[in-house]
Structure 1
Amino acid sequence: MSDKSAPTLADWQAAATKEVKGADLTWPTPEGIDVKPLYTAEDVTADPGLPGFAPFTRGVRASMYA
């Protein structure tokens, strides 16, 4: 076994930036929404709720079908 610690988000970011030769890792959708190259648990501020219940972020029906 190695005593080396697990890679961090900063490690991944440095490796990814090197692979794309410094190009921006974030890209826009046709609607103008910026999409990050990697999402982590830190990007989720709260539980999105259950489908079929307000605020309906996971769908308007409990069965997940519209």
Structure 2
Amino acid sequence: MQKELKVAFRLYDKEGNGYIPTSSLREILMALDDQLTPDQLDEMIAEIDTDGSGTVDFDEFMEMMTGD
């Protein structure tokens, strides 16, 4: 499963720098559920971006996708 998640991560890591900016993650989440409010998005992103860096690295992405 980690291999598949790595492939999915690379789809969103367009720059190839090892992370996804939270602004891109916001767009992804909005596309998946257009009923989310800005506050809900902020809350979700804060939970995903556990180190508060403004980016989501592969470990954070994997945790988000697997719930581990």
TM-score (norm 1): 0.35
1 or 2, which has the higher helix percentage?
Answer: 2
TM-score (norm 2): 0.34
Higher radius of gyration, 1 or 2: 1
Q: Which has the higher contact order (CA 8 A, sep 6+)?
A: 2
